[in-house]
Structure 1
Amino acid sequence: MVKNLASIQPETQFTQPIALRFAKFAQSLHFEDIPASVRDRAKYLILDAVGIAFASRHYPFSGKILTGLLDAAGTGTASVIGFQEKLPLRDAVIMNGALIHGLDYDDTHLRSVVHPTASSLSTALGLSEQCGVDGSELLTTYVIAMESIIRIGMAAMGGLHKRGYHPTGVCAHFSSALAAGRLLGLDVKELASAQAFAGSTAAASMEFVEEGGWNKRLHPGWGGAAGITAAYLAKNGFVGPTWPYEGRYGLYKSHLHDDEEHVDYECLTAGLGDVWECLDTAVKPFPSCHFTHALADSALELKRSRSIELESIQKILVQMPEIAVNLIAEPSANKLKPASDYDAKFSAQFIVAACLHRGKFGLSELTDDVLSDEAILKLASKVEYEIDPQTGYPDYYSGGVIITTKDGIEHVHYERVNRGAGERALSEAEISSKFFDNALLEIPRDRAESIRDVVLELDKKPAREFASNLTSA
């Protein structure tokens, strides 16, 4: 692992700036260079995201964001997934990013702790539609954004979360600048400058976890809009600094401070174009923070396999990676009685209790009547946590549940690999099933089937036709 110590100037450690290496990748990648397995995986990740976007239309936050954006800048020409209204380009990117990410049901790359598709698709979709490219170029741009956002997140090695930053929101600025620059035909130097501008705007606070605020929903699309702005500025001659990642005031030093010595700079571009990180992107089986998934499956397995009367439960102990504690277990007062559906998505206590009480955890477990169910809240009050001594983090988000009944018997289940990740990745059939479950909340079956077919054939159609097919028009 290459470490950039604070006392050493970047040019003494790196023969070529990381931004320049990313720029060369973004400019030179051809559709034919992408292995068929990566293209196919990308299409199913996009299918998952589109289904979630349609489901988000079912919830109040989507209408409030749309109304706010229309109030600020009016209508435009860029398509919004699931809506008839069109918005100005950057507002459409913000909106689509929020629709994909707003239910916290979108994909995650575990080692980077980023949700890569939300910003990658919203940026590639919006600008591909405006530029009038074909679907294969849209897909290529999406893959460029995916590979870069994942690697930028991986290099931080969990440090962004520790410092109170949402990695998706931070890293999306850079990857979106690369995607936008690719579509605008920037040269290598301009692509490098675009990343540098994005570095000046890359911030995304985790304060939302304290009281269930909605701002996290905006982070991916906001990064996308910033990246597009950066690319247009670079296209028109605006010049940025050379070392936006590894420089004295670059991303990792400015955001991580003392933790910067743990940054893995080598992974940013090692194997770029040969090793495809998007293949390791996990599709979520539950609409909640990914760190809760092993706990949910553990609770569901105990309910399925053991005859445990809920009234007989004395204590529930959940095991999680240390990095997850301040996301899904603390502050305990907020987690024991979530103030909103979004709060509940980040509560290990509530999710485990809901799984034990209802035998499932989906969008229907996040309604107001379930959030206020006294039986679930009483069960949640019995949930305690500990740091998982055998965690597979960062490769997997392992976790387990130990239920102790009043007779002193312990019932244990542990998930070494969380479902959806690694060797337990959801199959194409399972992703399709999830797509239909989400899309059918808002559209009829025949329309959903048509959209599925359009997504899986997106590289064979013009981007404008693809974008138009995703709207409600």
Structure 2
Amino acid sequence: MAHAFNEFVHGLRYDDLPASVRDFARRWLLDLIGVAAGGVRTDLSHIIRNHAARQFGAGSGAARMLFDGRVVSAAGAALAGGMTIDALDGHDGHKLTKGHVGCGVFPALLALSQAENSTAGDDFLTALVIGYEIGTRAGIALHRTVPDYHTSGAWIAVACAALGARVLGLDAVRTREAIGIAEYHGPRSQMMRCIDAPTMVKDGSGWGAMTGVSAAYLAAAGFTGAPAVTVEAPEVADLWSDLGSNWRILEQYYKPFPVCRWAQPPLLATLGLRDAHGIASTDVDHIEITTFHHSLRLATRRPKTTEQAQYSTSFPTAVAMVRGHVGPDDIALHNLSDREVLRLSDSMVITESDDYNAAFPARRIAHATLVLKDGRRLTSPPTEATGDPENPVPMEQVRRKFRAYATPVLRAERIADIEAAIANLATGGLDALSTAVTGPIDEPANAPAPVRPEPGGAAHR
């Protein structure tokens, strides 16, 4: 492994980070915690946290699971936390990885920090940035070097192993072994299988976080596994040569809705027409969507689970047309049988565009046509999802989303404590944040969500 990579993992300090990078680290941290709070009520989260409590007993290093309170091993807490965040597909992502980094990096880093009593808040923020930088590059490298499309867990594993090496203070040799172990055992699972048949396996994020944490501890014990091809292969050297100068944490996109990013351009195009023309869903005969191929593959019309609802183009688009918003409660199990939503989802005509396919993955574009019952046709401009890095949303919108997702399960005082702990993390230490996000939720797990996030409006280009 190159000296520059090792120096970046172990030598980067908070003072080395540009102000914009520090700000985005706090932004994604707040957003991830909000999505975790929203995801904790899902069946997926309940099952995986109970599994971690039973199967990942704490040894000498222990950590508490996100919004649960039970103590497990660091690997178990990383697994449960990554899958709890991924249970609600509302977290940040990256266009070129076609996936996510933060949803696995944050819970793994928190678990490692608890297990190893690493409480410096400025170092936590620095390590979070390191995780984004390494995970994003590993994801791009994997797409470049293999023909299959793998889930995010594959590159999350590499990032989490690097963070484990940093927290554990591994030397250069054992850091290299940790990265190699994580790449080899990372879940190179078939992403499009979960698109075509959505289940709780989702994006492999928790499994990748668990693998990366385990890889670091294995390397510390003398286990070998180098080299990591996605880091050391000559054909990806350019991706690693700009560590510390090209900050890829700034390239992540923000999600205003808790559904697959590929469904969001059609959703926003429809929502834009609804709002601009004051159209009620009952005025609409059917909706026509023109989009890109991967969005077309999100084909579940009548979801029976929240996973199917999150990996659908037609269902959340229909929800947006009927209700004017799409939040966690709208894709929850008890909200999947609305007759008007199902009418529009069933009748939706979805086709793909060669031009939109050619633009993918750097751009995700769609347009919508509302075919009204009186015969009129209203067509949107080409629309991209809100929150792309080229046009980031204001931080206040991220805060509103956090509060909306957290309100059903956390007291107002605790929500305020989390926001304050993140704002003061560099000087105040990690303990306050750790305590606030690892205690059990404050409300019953089946409590209805009384607050909805603001959709953010349509972005037309």
Say whether residues 1:367 and 2:359 are aligned partners. no
Say whether residues 1:412 and 2:374 are aligned partners. no
| Aligned residue in 2 for 1:32 | 15
Structure 2, unmatched stretches of 5+, are 441-461
Q: Deviations over 1:182-216 (max 9, x none)?
A: 11112222212211111221223333334431112
| Aligned residue in 2 for 1:4 | none
Aligned counterparts of 1:451 and 1:463: Cα–Cα separation in 2? 11
Code of the residue aligned with 1:275 in structure 2: it is N
CA shift in 2, pair 1:130/1:369, >3 Å: closer
Q: SS of the counterpart of 1:209?
A: helix
Q: SS of the counterpart of 2:384?
A: coil
State whether residues 77 and 108 of structure 2, in contact with CA within 8 Å, keep that contact through their aligned partners in structure 1: no
| Aligned residue in 1 for 2:453 | none
Q: SS of the counterpart of 1:224?
A: helix
| Aligned residue in 1 for 2:244 | 273
Deviation for aligned residue 1:366 = 1.4
- The aligned runs of 1:66-145 (5 Å cut-off) are 66-74=49-57, 77-133=62-118, 134-145=120-131
Which residue, 178, 181, 185 being the options, matches 1:197?
181
- The aligned runs of 1:258-297 (5 Å cut-off) are 265-297=236-268
| Aligned residue in 1 for 2:389 | 422
State whether residues 231 and 240 of structure 2, in contact with CA within 8 Å, keep that contact through their aligned partners in structure 1: no
| Aligned residue in 2 for 1:454 | 421
Code of the residue aligned with 1:33 in structure 2: it is D
State whether residues 79 and 468 of structure 1, in contact with CA within 8 Å, keep that contact through their aligned partners in structure 2: no
CA shift in 2, pair 1:181/1:271, >3 Å: same
CA shift in 2, pair 1:45/1:59, >3 Å: same
Say whether residues 1:183 and 2:187 are aligned partners. no
Q: How many residues align?
A: 433
Aligned counterparts of 2:335 and 2:138: Cα–Cα separation in 1? 38
| Aligned residue in 2 for 1:13 | none
| Aligned residue in 1 for 2:301 | 336
Deviation for aligned residue 1:390 = 4.1
Deviation for aligned residue 1:325 = 3.1
| Aligned residue in 2 for 1:3 | none
Aligned counterparts of 1:287 and 1:304: Cα–Cα separation in 2? 20
Aligned counterparts of 1:246 and 1:180: Cα–Cα separation in 2? 17
Q: SS of the counterpart of 1:437?
A: helix
| Aligned residue in 2 for 1:148 | 134
| Aligned residue in 2 for 1:256 | none
Q: Deviations over 1:431-454 (max 9, x none)?
A: 111111111111111211111101
Q: Deviations over 1:90-134 (max 9, x none)?
A: 111111112222111111112222211111111111111222221
State whether residues 289 and 349 of structure 2, in contact with CA within 8 Å, keep that contact through their aligned partners in structure 1: yes
CA shift in 2, pair 1:307/1:57, >3 Å: closer
State whether residues 255 and 261 of structure 2, in contact with CA within 8 Å, keep that contact through their aligned partners in structure 1: yes
Which residue, 304, 313, 331 being the options, matches 1:348?
313
State whether residues 176 and 228 of structure 1, in contact with CA within 8 Å, keep that contact through their aligned partners in structure 2: yes
Deviation for aligned residue 1:288 = 0.3
Superposition CA RMSD, Å: 2.5
| Aligned residue in 2 for 1:7 | none
State whether residues 78 and 88 of structure 1, in contact with CA within 8 Å, keep that contact through their aligned partners in structure 2: yes
| Aligned residue in 2 for 1:231 | 216
Q: SS of the counterpart of 1:402?
A: strand
Aligned counterparts of 1:282 and 1:174: Cα–Cα separation in 2? 21
CA shift in 2, pair 1:135/1:246, >3 Å: closer
Structure 1, unmatched stretches of 5+, are 1-16, 251-262, 330-334
| Aligned residue in 2 for 1:6 | none
Q: SS of the counterpart of 2:160?
A: helix
Aligned counterparts of 2:414 and 2:169: Cα–Cα separation in 1? 35
| Aligned residue in 1 for 2:349 | 384
Which residue, 30, 33, 46 being the options, matches 2:29?
46
Aligned counterparts of 1:175 and 1:348: Cα–Cα separation in 2? 30
Q: SS of the counterpart of 1:109?
A: coil
| Aligned residue in 2 for 1:320 | 291
Code of the residue aligned with 1:426 in structure 2: it is V
Q: SS of the counterpart of 1:301?
A: helix
Which residue, 241, 266, 270 being the options, matches 1:299?
270
Aligned counterparts of 1:174 and 1:279: Cα–Cα separation in 2? 20
CA shift in 2, pair 1:432/1:213, >3 Å: same
Code of the residue aligned with 1:440 in structure 2: it is T
Code of the residue aligned with 2:247 in structure 1: it is W
Q: Deviations over 1:285-335 (max 9, x none)?
A: 000001111111111111112254645545422122233333x23xxxxx1
Of structures 1 and 2, the one with the larger relative CO (CA 8 A, separation 6+) is 1
State whether residues 132 and 464 of structure 1, in contact with CA within 8 Å, keep that contact through their aligned partners in structure 2: no
Q: Deviations over 1:60-112 (max 9, x none)?
A: 33222221222223467312222222222111111111222211111111222
Q: Deviations over 1:387-412 (max 9, x none)?
A: 23443433332222122335553311
Aligned counterparts of 1:374 and 1:159: Cα–Cα separation in 2? 46
| Aligned residue in 2 for 1:215 | 201
Q: SS of the counterpart of 1:381?
A: helix
| Aligned residue in 1 for 2:38 | 55
CA shift in 2, pair 1:424/1:126, >3 Å: same
Q: SS of the counterpart of 1:245?
A: helix
- What TM-score does the superposition give when structure 1 sets the normalisation length? 0.85
Aligned counterparts of 1:420 and 1:298: Cα–Cα separation in 2? 14
CA shift in 2, pair 1:458/1:401, >3 Å: same
State whether residues 44 and 456 of structure 1, in contact with CA within 8 Å, keep that contact through their aligned partners in structure 2: no
Q: Compare 205-214 and 170-179 and name the one that shifted more.
A: 205-214
| Aligned residue in 2 for 1:400 | 367
Aligned counterparts of 2:410 and 2:231: Cα–Cα separation in 1? 47
Code of the residue aligned with 1:361 in structure 2: it is V
CA shift in 2, pair 1:400/1:389, >3 Å: same
